Structure 1
């Protein structure tokens, strides 16, 4: 049992930490948003009295102020390992970090071991915030920040959930299998990081391609967005294309539009800029929205009959999909690169 003096200190400390926890979580959200770092969640919690008392007794703490550093705990869950590193750097510039009590479990494990990985920082708000009224009496309090990827978080939750009993001390055969799966999870975590880097590198590569070089580029969601930027400059229009639906990409390829150059050949002024105030043309079709007050988009559900073009019959009105010019010596030449007529 704790004596009255430590109990009094702990009650006062918990009350102050109840103010600190949302302040730290809010600061982290603002900093990450300002630096455009994506994250899944940022959550904070303040230990209650019974939980703190149990830890003090179990750890045999004698100096509560210096040893009890997790009355406030904030957890940041990211998508990629690269984001963990970026957030770690920002934490060091945003707060005062107690390096002695902070740790990186991945580094502690070393290169030859696998297991639970997470990055923990013990921090204070720092002296620079002492004069701010919203941080009055909070700047000297220590708190912990934990950073994990989504996969690291899932593994940690399973390993520490007593109902699953995935902690240490398992039978040798089961423990070996557990270690194997932990290693596989680590590989996947790293693979996602590599893929994200390759996507960024691909974007950078096509961003500097000339129109001729871009013509030889595969038609995909990234190259189409790059081509859309080119059309914006060429026609002085704005194309609101945050993402390219997979069904549109599938239709392009089904009709032989496998490269950006194939789209250039069927593009026309009418297709790209159908008229002032119109929402037809490329941006409408790529996003799959109704055009010019029409009741439905050509790719909506419902029975349709393919007409006027040779190609795979997907039950789609292909005249609305690519547009046809009947004036060119009887030939039906596709007009609309995006698949909608204004």
Structure 2
């Protein structure tokens, strides 16, 4: 039951995160595979009966321990954590409580550098059938959201500093605090770089979003942008896209929509939203378009064919 509940949560989070980060893909946004992890029997028993961190023993360990299954989402930047939080907090399958928020901890203890992560406990709102297994109402799962740097710090230190397997020393704690301070500083630098990149790529991102919408409207299916779309956009896009002119072009050559839709069934090139720019560029001057074409020449041949242009 817990295993199925973890898979259900991971799947739903990925699906709900998609629209919040579009046109980016969740495969690129989430930096590590989201694989639910079950607490092993030995680990569970140790936490239930030999937990030295608790001031009072568990009265009912099985019900009180909420991380019998856990899901972890790792992103690149601290500002991206809020996107995952939005997906989690607006899902109708579960209730949630926030058990740890590193930003709040920093505000309360600004001079302390220690383990960072956002922790939620989500519980099924009702009995849920997950692939033939009934997940009972109230079944918990711990969800951790952290950055790649926070995850690296946790992987290095968490089992020794925050768990009773190794006796910590002042030197060890000092070294860990310095590492955490460096991670915070590095995260700030990463955010600065991301803002600079965002400023430079914002026009092309806006154009991509408009092309995705236009592609779905005219071709009748969702675009599937990949790195190829970036190559096409770099070659045939502009900082001031004339979308009205592109719409007019597609109106005048309305037959192209059917050709593109048919080719998109078998060729990923024709699922790229920027392919619309390619058709317009070839129509306006095939020699210039051929000179800009960033892929192998044969890939451009279907566009010429659809437009009835001969290169002889």
Q: Which has the higher contact order (CA 8 A, sep 6+)?
A: 2
Q: CA deviation at 1:115?
A: 1.9
Give unmatched runs, 5+ long, in structure 2: 52-56, 208-230, 251-259, 261-268, 273-280, 301-310
Query: Is 1:96 equivalent to 2:86 in the alignment?
Result: no
1:56 and 2:53 aligned: no
Deviation per CA, 1:285-337: give whole Å up to 9, x if none. 3xxx322489xxxxxxxxxxxxxxxxxxxxxxxxxxxxxxxxxxxxxxxxxxx
Are residues 1:80 and 2:77 paired? yes
* CA distance, structure 2, for counterparts of residue 293 and residue 91 of structure 1: 42
Match of 2:11 among 4, 26, 35: 26
Aligned to 1:212: none
Contact 1:73 1:144 in 2 (8 A): yes
* Residue of structure 1 in register with 2:290 after alignment: 280
Asked if the contact 1:272/1:281 (under 8 Å) is kept, the reply is: no
Deviations 1:12-34 (A, max 9, x none): xxxx2132121111111211124
TM-score (norm: length of structure 1): 0.55
**1:156, distance to aligned residue in structure 2 (A):** 0.7
Give the structure 1 partner of residue 30 of structure 2. 39
1:195 is aligned to 193
Matches of 2:128 and 2:6, distance apart in 1: 19
What residue in structure 2 maps to residue 250 of structure 1?
none
SS in 2 for 1:62: coil
Flag the 1:46–1:279 CA change in 2: closer, same or farther, 3 A.
farther
What is the rounded CA distance, in whole Å, between the counterparts of 1:28 and 1:70 in structure 2?
Answer: 18
What are structure 1's unaligned runs of at least 5 residues? 1-15, 210-220, 243-268, 295-340
Q: 1:185 to 1:226 in 2, by over 3 A?
A: farther
CA-CA distance at 1:85 after TM superposition:
1.5
Structure having the higher helix fraction is 2
| Native 8 Å contact 2:203 2:239 kept in 1 | no
Per-residue deviation, 1:271: 11
SS in 2 for 1:148: strand
Q: Using the alignment, how far apart are the partners of 1:113 and 1:73 within structure 2?
A: 27
Task: Work out which of the two has the higher radius of gyration on C-alpha atoms and give 1 or 2.
Answer: 1
Aligned to 2:169: 170
